[in-house]
């Protein structure tokens, strides 16, 4: 069940973990915002493909 909830996720090189985190957040949140700290791996790309808003 999704609610009127925004999930904010802070990241730094979380390529190995972000996909599972985002799929869990999607189950409950209307919006997902990823605040990335200049990751040098594929974190941002994965989050974008999942539909998260990137800051």
d(CA 6, CA 24) in angstroms, rounded, equals: 13
Structure tokens at 47: 């989050």
pLDDT in tens, 3-13: 799 999 999 99
pLDDT in tens, 19-52: 999 999 999 999 999 999 999 999 999 999 999 9
Element (H, E) at 36: strand 29-36
Is 35 in contact with 55 (CB distance < 8 Å)?
A: yes
pLDDT of residue 3: 73
Dihedral (C-alpha) 34, 38, 44, 47: value to the nearest 10 degrees?
-20
Structure tokens at 9: 């996720």
Range of the domain at 11: 3-54
Domain count along the chain: 1
């Amino acid at each position: 069940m999704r609610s009127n909830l925004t999930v904010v996720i802070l990241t730094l090189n979380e390529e190995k973990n972000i996909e599972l985190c985002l799929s869990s957040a999607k189950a409950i949140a209307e919006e997902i915002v990823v605040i990335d700290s200049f990751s040098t791996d594929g974190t941002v790309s994965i989050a974008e493909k999942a539909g998260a808003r990137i800051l």
